[in-house]
Amino acid sequence: MNPVTIIENERIVVLQAQLGEWDNLNHLIVCQQTNQAVIVDPFDGAYWQNTCAQHGWVLDQVWLTHSHWDHAKGVDALKQALGSSLRVHCHAFERQRGWKGEVDEEWQHQPNSHVKLKCGSLEFEAHCTPGHTPGHTTFIGEGLVISGDCLFLGRCGRTDLYGGDPEVQRSTLHYLRHQMQQLDEATIVLPGHQYRLSDGQTPTTMAVGEVLRTNEALLALDDDEAWMNLPFLAFDDSMAESARRKRSQDS
How much is the pLDDT for 247? 85
How much is the pLDDT for 243? 85
- Give the CATH number of the domain where residue 174 resides: 3.60.15.10
**How many other C-beta atoms are found inside a 10 Å radius of the C-beta of residue 122?**
20
Query: Can you list the pairs that 95-101 forms with residues at least 24 positions away whose Cβ atoms lie under 8 Å?
Result: 95/135, 96/134, 96/135, 96/163, 97/67, 97/133, 97/134, 97/162, 97/163, 98/162, 98/246, 99/67, 101/67, 101/72, 101/75
pLDDT single digits (tens) 118-148: 999 999 999 999 999 999 999 999 999 999 9
How much is the pLDDT for 47? 98
| Number of structural domains found in the chain | 1
pLDDT beneath 70: ranges in the chain: none
Task: Evaluate whether 114 touches 125 at the Cβ level (below 8 Å).
Answer: yes
Q: Is the pTM of this model over 0.95?
A: yes
Residue 48: give the domain boundaries: 4-250
Task: Evaluate whether 164 touches 192 at the Cβ level (below 8 Å).
Answer: no
Task: Evaluate whether 195 touches 154 at the Cβ level (below 8 Å).
Answer: yes
Going by the DSSP 8-state scheme, the letter that residue 55 receives in this structure is H
Burial of 59 per CB tally in 10 Å (0-12, 13-18, 19+): buried
**Residue (of 25, 74, 86) closest to 48 by Cα position:** 74
